[in-house]
Amino acid sequence: MIRLKTICTVAGFLFLAKASFAQQGSFLDHLRIGFGAGANSAQIIDLEPFNVFEDLTGVEYMNNYSGMLQNIGNQYFVQAEWFNDFIILVLKPGTYTYRFSKMNEVVFATETVEQESPYLLRYIGVPLEIRYNYDLQRFRPYAGFTAAYSHLLRSNDASNQTFIRPKITAGAVAGTYIDLRYIILDFNVGYRAGVHNIASKTNRFETGSGNTFAQNDLLLNNLQVSLSLLFSLQKQKHYSNVECFY
């Protein structure tokens, strides 16, 4: 009985989907494919300071991390999206590289020693965006929600061993499409916040030779700006150079 009910439910969804496509055109008519690139800025949220250094006076020395816009990374991706009149589903698989620095300062009797450790984390990421689109003819602004799963690529830098491989982020996006008749430009701004600690609790001490400070528990947030070039399998609207309204 339960199996029959499940089959009927699935059949009902398939029928509705088929009816929807019949009204709005084929799936390929609502598909856009292209590629994009952009820049990002990492923001490090220090969840819990953690160090292994304490001088004879009992003073503990903590890590400090670079702030927003102090280090610029980049992203390169393929973009595929399905759209109807208002809702757009977007996938942007590609490489996402983030840069930031960890700074330590130790005060001795005769001098102050400063040490800066730069980090470059390169991920294979698969962001999913759900956008609400408003049509203003040549310009179609949108806003929406984004979530991404990423996997850290291996590096010869010993300090990268202090991070776990998977990373999940979520946030908001906004931007606009620009219709150029034969192609579409997508200008996109997004902010993604980390939803978990990216530091490895078992490898937090492997920060490289000469560095006595363990890696803190961290969230990796980022601000991204991207520009994409899209090609549609559906015939684009052809607007005249001079728009007339009556």
Per-residue pLDDT of the chain (246 residues; tens, 9 = 90+): 445 444 555 455 444 444 444 444 576 778 999 999 999 999 999 998 776 565 656 666 778 888 888 899 999 999 999 988 889 999 999 999 999 998 877 666 666 677 788 899 999 999 999 999 988 888 999 999 999 999 999 887 777 888 999 999 999 999 999 998 789 999 999 999 999 999 988 888 776 655 557 788 999 999 999 999 999 766 555 554 445 444
Q: Where are the domains of the chain?
A: 26-232
The Cα 43–Cα 25 span in angstroms is 43
Beta bridge partners of 33: 80, 231
Structure tokens at 165: 């491989």
Burial 219-235 (b: 16+ CB within 10 A, else e): bbbbbbebebebebeee
CATH class of 26-232: mainly beta
Helix then strand count (H, E) for the chain reads 1, 10
